[in-house]
Amino acid sequence: MYYSAITKTSNEDYPGKICGVVYTKGCNLNCAYCFSKETLGTQLISQDEVFSFLKSRIGKLDAICISGGEPTIYKDLYTFVIRLKMLGFMVKLDTNGTNPEVLEEVLPVLDYVAMDIKAPIHRYEEIVGCSVDTRKIEKSIKLISESGVDHEFRTTLVPGLTGEDIHEISKSVAGCRKFVIQLHREEAEPQSKESVFAIMEELRRNPECEYCARGL
């Protein structure tokens, strides 16, 4: 695996836990709005540096969040998670769901997984800026929903996504534990935010899933 950045302490990336964040290098999507693009450049952190950091945080952190980039582009992700568990950390994975084969392997050893759903299936390639096998997205949603692992699905409200889009995405994750709508900085159109507020009120009538908004 290749690593691009480390956040030493975060109380936002793992619900209810104090965690560190390890960012893997590289992503298989090309989202124009990606906040992590600065971590996808030429910078590399050695594996020795990563594990030196991890060992220094034993007893100080509850968990490690593996983010990116896209961690599932690495076939040795499972081995990395096991090494984290052996150090005594809970492990959360952030993923875009494009590699369900890797996700299926690693799910049983995760404590939490967050999957970003970029758009309704019919608009995926438009939003992510490249070709995507949306059947893999749907398979990952199913794997996570049925895994028994604590999880959330989340969608970033970027310019161009509508309230109707958010409603369609919410139907694709029906029965999940948590669906989060988050604002992309200040770029979302006011009318889109108003639509989301109305949709959230409707979604919250479903007692089977927690629906929430971040940054709105």
Give Cα separations from 72 to 93, 175, 211 (angstroms). 9, 24, 26
Residues 77-94 have pLDDT tens digits of: 999 999 999 999 999 999
> Domain 3-214 belongs to what topology?
TIM Barrel (3.20.20)
* Position with higher pLDDT, 164 vs 149: 149
User: How many helices, marked H, and strands, marked E, lie in the chain?
Assistant: 7, 8
Residue 9 CA to residue 179 CA, distance in Å, equals 24
- What pLDDT, on the 0 to 100 scale, is given for residue 54? 96
Residue 68 CA to residue 187 CA, distance in Å, equals 22
Average pLDDT over all residues of the chain: 86
Q: Where are the domains of the chain?
A: 3-214
* Position with higher pLDDT, 127 vs 194: 127
- What pLDDT, on the 0 to 100 scale, is given for residue 191? 47
Mean pLDDT in residue range 65-85: 96
- What pLDDT, on the 0 to 100 scale, is given for residue 185? 59
User: Is it the case that residue 194 has pLDDT exceeding 70?
Assistant: no
Among 206, 146, 143, 147, which residue's Cα sits nearest to residue 171? 206
The token pair at 25 is 């290098």
User: Is it the case that residue 40 has pLDDT exceeding 90?
Assistant: no
- What pLDDT, on the 0 to 100 scale, is given for residue 188? 46
- What pLDDT, on the 0 to 100 scale, is given for residue 125? 93
Residue with the two structure tokens 């076939």:
75
- What pLDDT, on the 0 to 100 scale, is given for residue 163? 77
DSSP 3-state of 1: coil
Band (pLDDT 50/70/90 cuts) for residue 195 is: low
- What pLDDT, on the 0 to 100 scale, is given for residue 60? 96
User: Is it the case that residue 19 has pLDDT exceeding 80?
Assistant: yes
Residue 64 CA to residue 159 CA, distance in Å, equals 31
Among 149, 177, 134, 181, which residue's Cα sits nearest to residue 162? 181
Of the chain, the percentage scoring pLDDT greater than 70 comes to 81
Please compute Rg for the chain using Cα positions.
17
Band (pLDDT 50/70/90 cuts) for residue 38 is: low
Mean pLDDT in residue range 11-38: 87
Residue with the two structure tokens 């109707």:
164
The token pair at 13 is 């990336």
User: Is it the case that residue 45 has pLDDT exceeding 70?
Assistant: yes
Helix residue spans in the chain (DSSP H): 47-56, 77-86, 100-106, 124-128, 134-145, 163-172, 190-203
